[in-house]
Amino acid sequence: MNAVVKPRSARLLGSRWLVIAVPYLWLLVFFAIPLAIAFKISFSQAAIAMPPYTPIVNWVDGHPSLDIHLKNYLYLVNDSLYVNAYLSSIKIAVISTILCLLIGYPMAYAIARMPAATRNIALMLVILPSWTSFLIRIYAWIGILKNNGLLNNFLLWTGLIDQPLAIMHTPVAVYIGIVYAYLPFMVLPLYANLVKLDLRLLEAASDLGAKPWKAFLKVTLPLSKSGIIAGSMLVMIPVVGEFVIPEMLGGPDTLMIGRILWQEFFNNRDWPVASAVSIVMLLLLIIPIMIFHRAQSREMEGRLA
């Protein structure tokens, strides 16, 4: 019997490995190796050289000697600029996530309750803007928000204001840009969750005496928890490292770690500090990612059982 089973399972195993190997190879070449390089650079010293940092392993008389520096990391802790940038990034990410949730939840809820035909159109409208380049869409917001932009001209025309509002280059502009750009990432997982909600559960809640608002709080909201977590993670994680939006819409005082990273790398040409900044950012993001992962695996467990 073994003789019959073995080749078949071996063949299956082979094809399984092949399927798994392709994405893993991709991740290895374009994610793991660059990350390892950045990690290595974060322990070296800046130098006026090509590449602009000192090597970690020196060969003196055929003997290797290690040259590891922790001062990049100490520098991040000691210089308040970095600590503030991290905190400010996280603050902006958290606030934008909450804003996206507050706007995205009703949107996703409304779409999920639409008749099937209009539902697809509404989903299309959510996705459609991302068919244009991200950069162009953020540029468009400059045209809307600047002092003599669309919004101010419109408000002046209606007579609501007599002085143009200074929105451009303020945190408000950054929030507008972030919420605009990341809203679909909130709406889509929430929609996918809410559309699966068994409406009989709401009928049951109503039948047992719960008014619609109470039924929402006690049934719909807790059952959409995994969608809320998924959407929040999809917004929060990339927003922490966001560079384009604060650079284009924010003022010089908009402190975000993505901008610091850019400045360290391109303006100061301090690759080791830039690498350390990115490694610390990654570590900070791992915490919410792990929470997300735990919530998701718990959800899967519930489904399968």
Q: What's the CA gap between 289 and 184, in Å, rounded?
A: 19
Q: What are phi and psi of 57, to 5 degrees?
A: -105, 120
| Nearest-approach distance from CB 210 to another protein, in angstroms | 5
Q: How far is the CB of 57 from another protein (least distance, A)?
A: 55
What are the Cα distances from residue 123, in Å, to 111, 117, 190? 7, 11, 12
Select 209 or 252, whichever has its Cβ closest to another protein.
209
Q: What is the distance of C-alpha 147 from the center of its chain? A: 30
Whichever of 162 and 301 has its CB closer to another protein, that residue is 301
Distance, CA of 244 to CA of 227 (rounded, Å): 27
List of residues contacting another protein (CB under 8 A): 198, 200-201, 203-211, 214, 218-219, 222-223, 302, 305
User: Quick one: CA dihedral 54, 60, 63, 65, positive or negative?
Assistant: negative
Please report the sign of the dihedral spanned by the C-alpha atoms of residue 272, residue 275, residue 281, residue 282: negative
> On the CB side of 160, how many CA atoms lie within 13 Å of its CA?
8
> How far is residue 88 from each of residues 30, 93, 194, 216, measured CA to CA in Å?
29, 8, 32, 34
**Smallest separation, CB 106 to another protein (Å):** 21
Taking the complex as a whole, the smallest distance from the CB of residue 216 to another protein amounts, in Å, to 13
Q: Which is nearer to another protein, 131 or 213 (CB)?
A: 213
Pick between residue 71 and residue 196 the one whose CB is nearest to another protein.
196
The C-alpha atoms of residue 32 and residue 211 are separated, in whole angstroms, by 52
**Toward another protein, which CB reaches closer, 35 or 223?**
223
Nearer to another protein, 124 or 208 (CB): 208
Shortest reach from residue 208's CB to another protein, in Å? 3
CB of 192 to another protein, least distance (A): 17
CB 240 within 8 A of CB 280: no
Pseudo-torsion of CA 226, 227, 230, 233, nearest 10°?
-110
Q: How far apart are CA 170 and CA 261, in angstroms?
A: 20
Decide whether 71 or 214 has the Cβ nearer to another protein.
214
Q: How far apart are CA 25 and CA 29, in angstroms?
A: 6
Q: What is the pairing mode between strands 57-60 and 63-66? A: antiparallel
Please say which residue, 67 or 198, places its beta carbon nearer to another protein: 198
Minimum gap (Å) between residue 158 Cβ and another protein: 42
CB of residue 300 to another protein, shortest distance in Å: 12
Whether 263 and 60 have beta carbons less than 8 Å apart is answered as no
